A and B are shown apart, each in its own frame.
Chain A
């Protein structure tokens, strides 16, 4: 019991020392905690543009068109309507990578593996939005298109 009390006291002291005075706290929100933050501007997806160049190795290619209402479920995969091996030529689309046929054990399946079936887990459509924080990332030389 005595030890418990001592621990509690130690904990209290730790916080008392570690936490800075409340006056120093500044929030990244533009208003106080009691007020609702302002709703961010709604940015429309880019409707349709040519393929977007990749910035780093193994980046999932970005979706250069709108995908609103595209269903991907057990019965149907809208994306594969154009991007499957059997359909990509007729639609001049990028074909799905062979890596997507592999199961997690490395076995090659006869069709898209279940773990790679839900396209938008990795591939995402784009909006014309400025980055929220400054970013100086630049692709390595080998990835730059001249």
Chain B
């Protein structure tokens, strides 16, 4: 019998190395994921920087009275780990189209805008506007402090099972040509 300590047949030394390597890989993976989750990364491609980002910096989600800012991933990447990884895998499609140059000019971008916007609206509807609600929590919302119009619309909207994106489209980016959309359902928001 050897005098080395063994746990489940592996020496302590091997286990320790495996532990450290595990931390490095896990940490590295998370680091890489967080690195792709910054605004800086998002606008490192000109498709984002020249189009949607320019529109976003004019909106309250960029600059407002209290100085609270929501950056790209706050709205477009889920906070929960599983949803986040799923979104990151789906983003490989965006890389593919970056390589193809699908929207590499303003004209191409505008031509695709309705389709792109519809994808985001659809996702937000399916998740009940989960990313909005990370900050805009229904239970913390004081209707009394809202304007009389907002108060009424919010009460009606929530009562009718609508979700944030049903009304609040085009709040951080310009809307596409909405003539093909159902205007009565889309253009409610203030």
Q: Tell me, in angstroms, the Cα distance from A84 to B184 when the chains sit together.
A: 10
Chain A residues closer than 8 Å to B178, beta-carbon distance? 75-76
Q: Tell me, in angstroms, the Cα distance from A121 to B125 when the chains sit together.
A: 36
Q: Judge whether A48 and B184 touch: CB under 8 Å.
A: no
Q: Judge whether A81 and B188 touch: CB under 8 Å.
A: yes
- How many residues of B sit at the interface, in one of the four size bands? 20 to 34
Residue of A nearest to B181 (CB): A76
Q: Tell me, in angstroms, the Cα distance from A108 to B148 when the chains sit together.
A: 35
Q: Tell me, in angstroms, the Cα distance from A61 to B27 when the chains sit together.
A: 61
**A69-B59, A71-B174 given; A48·B187 CB < 8 A:** no
Chain B residues closer than 8 Å to A66, beta-carbon distance? 147
Could you give, for residues 70-113 of chain A, a 1 whenever the CB lies within 8 Å of some chain B CB and a 0 otherwise? Answer: 01011110101110101100111000000000000000000000
Q: Which of B131-190 contact A (CB under 8 A)?
A: 147-150, 152-153, 170-171, 174-178, 183-184, 186-190
Q: Judge whether A78 and B187 touch: CB under 8 Å.
A: yes
Chain A interface (Cβ < 8 Å from any Cβ of B): 47-50, 65-66, 68-69, 71, 73-76, 78, 80-82, 84, 86-87, 90-92
Chain B residues closer than 8 Å to A81, beta-carbon distance? 183, 186-189
B34 proximal to A (CB < 8 A): no
Residue of B nearest to A76 (CB): B175
Chain B residues closer than 8 Å to A49, beta-carbon distance? 148
**A69-B60, A71-B170, A75-B178 given; A87·B184 CB < 8 A:** yes
Residue of A nearest to B174 (CB): A71
Residue of A nearest to B60 (CB): A69
Q: List 14 interface pairs A-B (beta carbons < 8 Å), by A numbering.
A: A48-B148, A71-B174, A75-B175, A75-B177, A76-B170, A76-B174, A76-B178, A81-B183, A81-B186, A81-B187, A86-B183, A87-B183, A87-B184, A92-B152
Q: Tell me, in angstroms, the Cα distance from A57 to B72 when the chains sit together.
A: 48
Chain B residues closer than 8 Å to A50, beta-carbon distance? 148
